[in-house]
Chain A
């Protein structure tokens, strides 16, 4: 068992994003496990507010000293806000992946996909198995 945080009230994707629901708005970021694996994050880039994404589409990318990775949205909808503060201070994702390190907010009219996603316990088990 590794030492990473996995908040109980979120949903998780196999591509290591977390999803928080508030009404019809879903906030997305990457998990503590993912930031730890990536090591120091040095660059983030997101699509623009107003852009739409399909389920499974990339909404941006993250680059660390080790690797560059695509960021995927499990939900379809319109990006209504991005965390622009991360562009200057991407290290915030390392420090606070589930808080100040949030990445984009997407307005969606279909939350059903989240029901099939991993909960915290399933995600922890998934990370342990890797």
Chain B
């Protein structure tokens, strides 16, 4: 456990203080005794101890600001510091969410513009910023599809098709919305198997198909090359198409899902649009729709409620769409994230946004082309913004993807995503993002090549990795089975 820090509770001593509080200048009030407690187990520490404690902890942390973070499916791009400046502008930061609309015109204008820009980027007619994160965006999207069918008198449509490469949130969303999942296999190209899709959409279940959720590019990082057929088949059966926009970093200003004829998608502002998502975010999962679903959007959305006239600018306000699925988040969603995403798009502009996608795809294909010489590439195609390798070697059976990932930590890199997508054995899902330079990509390739060499010559190095991290190999089974979320001593047992 070398290198770990004691808890702040364990480094204090009675009487140490960080601040000198002034004598109270108001009379002391008597509190009812039943509201008083005998002790308050807070650490007693000086300011310097507090600073050192948290600085040391921050040194144990790994972040994009410290090094390469190719965690596939998560789009761990650099979050520009300018976003943080914008988010701290007092006019935004100190705005109360319950303020009258007339007192928040700047913030409302920003949200209105962001709705418009996201609509433009994805080719959708209307956007709601309210969902708190990607999974909630999915939930909103599927509820809209459900309500649409109910309004058409087709409430029996309750099956959502989901490819077996999907993010786990997709089937979870369907279940949460009270609908049924039907899984579709992928073919040897990594695309949805069209025969299975046709069988599902043209067979006896035809009038029960509510729609399909699909990620483009897929979780394998591959562009769904038969996407036009997929969309046509589902639409012909009367279903609607949901696009999981998790991988929009591969499409921006190149492919517009709305123009592909998707009906609804969510964006992950915390991935594609550089709002932070380490340490819990918060995320932001705006949802965009075409004309068919426009009235069902979760609200409130921001619109012009009084047109511009001689007296000045238009008045922006909150609007609840006519058949809205309702509110799914308090206030206006995670406004701080809207602000950062706005700043990001504003800085890049339309051609810059396209460059983001181009460099993300270029970086991923550069890594793919280099690493496929050493590692097995299950789908030998050009990739989008990420790609999957198989993290094992036929001649060294005991080495698994997890061991390669743990060893990468010794080389100073955050590991790629392990064991996802589920359809690739020993999957290593690698997403470099556009924000890395060639030297850093090359350093990662070198590390991966060294590890492949070590696997053959000294597999123990991998099996016992990490050697240099603050903690060695964690016991994942025990971590799952013996879940301890609090310091036991600090928490009275239930019923006490």
Query: Which of A's residues lie within 8 Å of B, judged by CB?
Result: 37, 40, 42-43, 65-68, 91, 130
Of residues 410 to 459 in B, which have CB atoms within 8 Å of A's CB atoms?
418-420, 422, 425
Chain B residue numbers with a CB within 8 Å of A65 are 476-477, 480
In the bound assembly, the distance between CA atoms of A65 and B418 in angstroms comes to 11
For chain B, residues 156 to 206, give those with C-beta under 8 angstroms from any C-beta of chain A: 168
A sample of 18 inter-chain contacts (CB < 8 A) reads A37-B425, A40-B476, A40-B477, A42-B477, A42-B480, A42-B481, A43-B480, A65-B476, A65-B477, A65-B480, A66-B418, A66-B419, A67-B419, A67-B420, A67-B422, A68-B168, A91-B477, A130-B425
- Chain B, residues 308-324, CB within 8 Å of chain A (1/0): the string is 00000000000000000
**A119: min CB distance to chain B, Å:** 23
Give me the 4 closest cross-chain CB pairs, A-B, nearest first. Answer: A42-B480, A66-B419, A40-B477, A65-B476
In the complex, chain B residues whose CB is within 8 Å of the CB of A37: 425
Distance to closest chain B CB from A93 (angstroms): 13
Question: How close is A57's CB to chain B, nearest CB, in angstroms?
Answer: 11
Binary per-residue interface labels of chain B (338-361) against chain A in the complex, 1 for a CB within 8 Å, 0 otherwise: 000000000000000000000000
Binary interface profile of B, 87-114, with partner A (CB < 8 Å = 1, else 0)? 0000000000000000000000000000
Best-surrounded residue of B168, B422, B425, B477 (most CB of chain A within 10 A): B477
| Shortest distance between the CB of B422 and any CB in chain A (Å) | 5
Chain B 468-496 interface 0/1 with A at a Cβ cutoff of 8 Å (1 = within): 00000000110011000000000000000
Query: Which of B168, B418, B419 has its CB near the most chain A CB atoms (within 10 A)?
Result: B419
A40–B474 CA distance with the chains assembled, in angstroms: 14
Q: Give, as a whole number of angstroms, the nearest-CB distance from B193 to chain A.
A: 14
Chain A residues with CB under 8 Å of B422's CB are 67
B contact residues around A43 at 8 Å (CB): 480
Q: CA separation between A42 and B168, bound complex, in Å? A: 18
Instruction: State the CA gap A65–B480 with chains docked (Å).
Output: 8
The residue in chain A whose Cβ has the minimal distance to the Cβ of B400 is: A39
Minimal beta-carbon separation of B420 from chain A (angstroms):
8
Q: Chain A residues near B425 (CB, 8 Å)?
A: 37, 130
Assembled-state Cα–Cα distance A67/B423 (Å): 11
List B contacts of A42 (CB < 8 A): 477, 480-481
A130 and B481 alpha carbons, distance in the complex (Å): 30
Closest to B422 in A: A67
User: Which A residues are in CB contact (< 8 Å) with B418?
Assistant: 66
Residue of B nearest to A40 (CB): B477
Distance in Å: Cβ of A120 to nearest Cβ of chain B: 22
> What residues of B have a CB within 8 angstroms of the CB of A67 in the complex?
419-420, 422
- B168 nearest in chain A by CB position: A68
Enumerate chain B residues within 8 angstroms of A68, measured Cβ to Cβ: 168
For the complex, what is the distance from the CA of A67 to the CA of B164, rounded to whole Å? 13
Residues of B within 8 A of A91 (CB): 477
User: What is the CA–CA distance of A66 and B481 in the complex, to the nearest angstrom?
Assistant: 14
A40: which B residues are within 8 A, CB to CB?
A: 476-477
A-B contacts besides A40-B477, A42-B477, A67-B419, 7 pairs, CB < 8 Å: A37-B425, A42-B481, A43-B480, A66-B418, A66-B419, A68-B168, A130-B425
Considering residues A40, A42, A66, which has the most beta carbons from chain B within 10 angstroms of its beta carbon?
A66
Closest-CB distance, A130 to chain B (whole angstroms): 8
**In the complex, which residues of chain B have a beta carbon less than 8 angstroms from the beta carbon of A130?**
425
Q: Give the distance in Å from the alpha carbon of A114 to the alpha carbon of B276 in the complex.
A: 52
Nearest CB in chain B to that of A66: its residue: B419
The CA of A40 and the CA of B402, in the complex, are separated in Å by: 13
> A91 CA to B419 CA in the complex, in Å?
20
In the assembled complex, the Cα of A65 lies from the Cα of B474 at a distance in Å of 12
Cβ-closest chain B residue relative to A88: B481
User: In the assembly, what is the distance between CA of A91 and CA of B482, in Å?
Assistant: 14
| Chain A residues whose C-beta falls within 8 Å of the C-beta of B419 in the assembled complex | 66-67
Nearest Cβ distance between residue B269 and chain A, in whole angstroms? 27
CA of A37 to CA of B420 in the docked complex: distance in angstroms? 13
Whose C-beta in chain B lies nearest to the C-beta of A58? B181
Residue of B nearest to A68 (CB): B168
CA distance A37 to B418 in the complex (A): 14
Nearest-Cβ distance from residue B16 to partner chain A, whole angstroms:
42
Chain A proximity of B175: nearest CB distance (Å): 11
> Which residues does chain A contribute within 8 Å of B420, judged by CB atoms?
67
Chain B's nearest CB lies how many Å from the CB of A110? Answer: 20
Q: How far is the CA of A10 from the CA of B418 in the complex (A)?
A: 33
- Nearest CB of chain A from residue B376's CB, rounded to whole Å: 14
Inside 8 A of B480's CB, which chain A residues have their CB?
Answer: 42-43, 65
Cα–Cα distance between A66 and B420 once the two chains are bound (Å): 8
| A43→B425 CA distance, assembly (Å) | 21
Contacts of B481 in A (CB 8 A): 42
Residues of chain A within 8 A of B168, CB atoms compared:
68
Task: Write the nearest CB–CB distance from A86 to chain B, whole angstroms.
Answer: 13
Q: How far is the CB of B469 from chain A (nearest CB, A)?
A: 18
B113 to chain A, nearest CB (A): 40
**Cα distance A27–B168 in the bound complex, in angstroms:** 29
Chain B residue at smallest Cβ distance from A69: B422
Bound-state CA distance A65–B476 (Å) is 7
- A66 neighbours in B (Cβ, 8 Å): 418-419
Q: How distant is A65 from chain B, measured CB to nearest CB, in Å?
A: 5
B427 and chain A: residue at smallest CB distance? A66
